[in-house]
Amino acid sequence: MHHIRYVGQRLHCESVDLDAVARLHGTPTYVYSAQTITDNYRRLAAGLAGIDLRICYACKANANLAVLRHLANLGAAFDLVSGGELRRVQAAGGSLRHSVFAGVGKTEAEIALALEAGVYGLHVESESELARIDHVAGQLGRRAPIALRVNPDVDARTHAKITTGRSENKFGIPLSRAMAAYATAARLRHLEIRGVQMHLGSQLTSAAPFVEAVEKMAPLVERLKALYGITYFSIGGGLGIAYHDALASGAREWWEARPSDERPLTAEAYGTALRPLLAPLGLQILLEPGRYLTGNAGVLLARVEYLKRGAERNFLILDAAMNDLVRPAMYDAYHELVPLVRDTSRPALTADVVGPVCESGDCFARDRTLQQVSEGEFVAFLSAGAYGAAMASRYNTRPLPAEVLVLGNCFELVKARENFEIMVAGEKIPGFLNA
Ligand code: LLP
């Protein structure tokens, strides 16, 4: 459920008319609904009510400072994977003491930054990393709180590029080696064993893989609690959202009308399936959701630049491109596309929806059917609040898109569109090239 819907014929984010936002701030522009993020956060917390729970928002999904502040205000902690994300949370006023620091390639500088900030736990991916963290903690005269990421080897049944919990992935320590790795950690003087972590992959649409993984992990978790007194079990992120039918999925009736085996995973179903497995562990449970909190809260607004009628197909050429929203090009991901002003009297148009970047891969959708739109009109890609702006690049020297946050009838630019000077600010022409 979310707050992106038509009011009359005009697409709104909460009480804000998106066509007005597009005209005021230009396009491509991401717009986020703060109320949707709030609802998602509360729904997830309610789904696991009764468990000692901490929600650590995975910043990688959308690390805009305003989004982070909003989540911090709701009580969220954060899952960080770089020194940059740590500094963003700091800048947004989030609590680092309750946040965790993950990632397969932590540098010494990042480890020191995380320890100095007093993070709740470093999520460790290998034995070599244990040694490195011990070394850095020793230099700083601290003990580093750690949890090992254990790979439960469970098929998340999601896209190959976003599955992580299989043994062939680069992530985590195999379940069979976990006890030995903990024994190594216990011998290192500057480490404090605090927890255990797992993460299966992203965009999971069923609770079954989570259940399978928690069941596989439970004996280990219990032994770690008895042996080392661990206090938390992080079960990672990965809850999926609706991409198809994204607009309709804003309404409760849509969810209720679907047979339960066709319903994307809800927080309620996730909680109901996991609570009986998690409660007996008697540990604090950390969640690391990214997409679930911000995905359906965001849209990407774009302008129709040209409608090109080719020999065999039509092309709808937008001012947004793969550099603004890379998911379709990178993962063949589907994002629903709707006009900002609906006109049901117009005929349908079937076209390939593309951007202006000079690559055939710059294609958002093939053979997409939507209402006939004219040059100069605006459209929105839905479910773009996670891994949208966060993955944007400046390819083709296109500025990073603008971002707007909405709450009720208020909206504000929370990232200005870049200008040329900012894009080239770090570059210089070396003296030896001066003729
Ligand atoms: N925790 C860990 C250890 C992770 O690696 C991830 C995501 C998360 C939590 C958050 O996962 P989420 O709840 O958002 O599914 N760019 C891809 C998704 C990559 C996810 C990477 N790791 C996409 O656009 O689909």
Q: Whose CA is nearest to atom 19 of ligand 1?
A: 162
Out of 151, 202, 331, give the residue to mutate to test ligand 1, the one with the largest number of ligand atoms within 8 Å of its CB.
202
| Residue that terminates a domain, selected from 290, 308, 340 | 290
Cα 366 to Cα 160: distance, rounded to the nearest angstrom: 21
* Side chain identity, residue 147: A
Ligand 1 geometric centre to CA of 234 (Å): 14
- Same domain membership, residue 375 and residue 270: no
Out of 149, 233, 286, 288, give the residue to mutate to test ligand 1, the one with the largest number of ligand atoms within 8 Å of its CB.
288
Q: Are 52 and 282 in contact (CB under 8 A)?
A: no
Across-strand partners of 353? 316, 365
Please tell me the total count of domains within the chain: 2
What pLDDT tens digit does each residue of the chain (435 aa) get? 899 999 999 999 999 999 999 999 999 999 999 999 999 999 999 999 999 999 999 999 999 999 999 999 999 999 999 999 999 999 999 999 999 999 999 999 999 999 999 999 999 999 999 999 999 999 999 999 999 999 999 988 776 666 666 666 778 999 999 999 999 999 999 999 999 999 999 999 999 999 999 999 999 999 999 999 999 999 999 999 999 999 999 998 998 888 877 788 999 999 999 999 999 999 999 999 999 999 999 999 999 999 999 888 999 999 999 999 999 999 999 999 999 999 999 999 999 999 999 999 999 999 999 999 999 999 999 999 999 999 999 999 999 999 999 999 999 999 999 999 999 999 999 999 987
Locate tokens 């004996």: which residue?
Answer: 219
For 57, the 3-state DSSP assignment is strand
- Same domain membership, residue 326 and residue 279: no
- Same domain membership, residue 338 and residue 234: no
In a domain, 97, yes or no: yes
In a domain, 213, yes or no: yes
Q: Is 85 in the pocket of ligand 1 (CB under 6 A)?
A: no
Closest CA to 203 of 267, 158, 155: 158
Annotated active-site residue in 13, 56, 59, 358:
358
31 Cβ contact list (under 8 Å, min separation 6): 13, 16, 18, 21, 298, 299, 301, 403, 404, 405, 406, 411
- Same domain membership, residue 417 and residue 319: yes
| Residue that terminates a domain, selected from 260, 290, 320 | 290
**Is residue 363 annotated as a catalytic residue, yes or no?**
no
Cα 198 to Cα 151: distance, rounded to the nearest angstrom: 6
For 316, the 3-state DSSP assignment is strand
In a domain, 130, yes or no: yes
CATH number of the domain bearing residue 146: 3.20.20.10
Residue 312: predicted pLDDT: 87
- Same domain membership, residue 283 and residue 148: yes
- Same domain membership, residue 377 and residue 281: no
Ligand 1 geometric centre to CA of 58 (Å): 7
Residue 278: predicted pLDDT: 98
Residue 5: predicted pLDDT: 98
Cα 218 to Cα 229: distance, rounded to the nearest angstrom: 15
Ligand 1 geometric centre to CA of 201 (Å): 7
- Same domain membership, residue 262 and residue 151: yes
Residue 186: predicted pLDDT: 98
Cα 402 to Cα 32: distance, rounded to the nearest angstrom: 11
- Same domain membership, residue 265 and residue 149: yes
In a domain, 23, yes or no: no
* Side chain identity, residue 397: T
- Same domain membership, residue 409 and residue 309: yes
- Same domain membership, residue 271 and residue 200: yes
Q: Is 172 in the pocket of ligand 1 (CB under 6 A)?
A: no
- Same domain membership, residue 308 and residue 227: no
CATH number of the domain bearing residue 387: 2.40.37.10
What would the two tokens of residue 98 be? 């309750």
In a domain, 197, yes or no: yes
Residue 167: predicted pLDDT: 65
Q: Is 129 in the pocket of ligand 1 (CB under 6 A)?
A: no
∠ Cα 184 185 191 (to 5°): 150
| Residue that terminates a domain, selected from 290, 322, 352 | 290
In a domain, 6, yes or no: no
In a domain, 141, yes or no: yes
In a domain, 428, yes or no: no
Q: Whose CA is nearest to atom 6 of ligand 1?
A: 237
Range of the domain at 351: 296-423
Ligand 1 geometric centre to CA of 420 (Å): 31
Q: Is 327 in the pocket of ligand 1 (CB under 6 A)?
A: yes
Q: Is 403 in the pocket of ligand 1 (CB under 6 A)?
A: no
- Same domain membership, residue 210 and residue 310: no
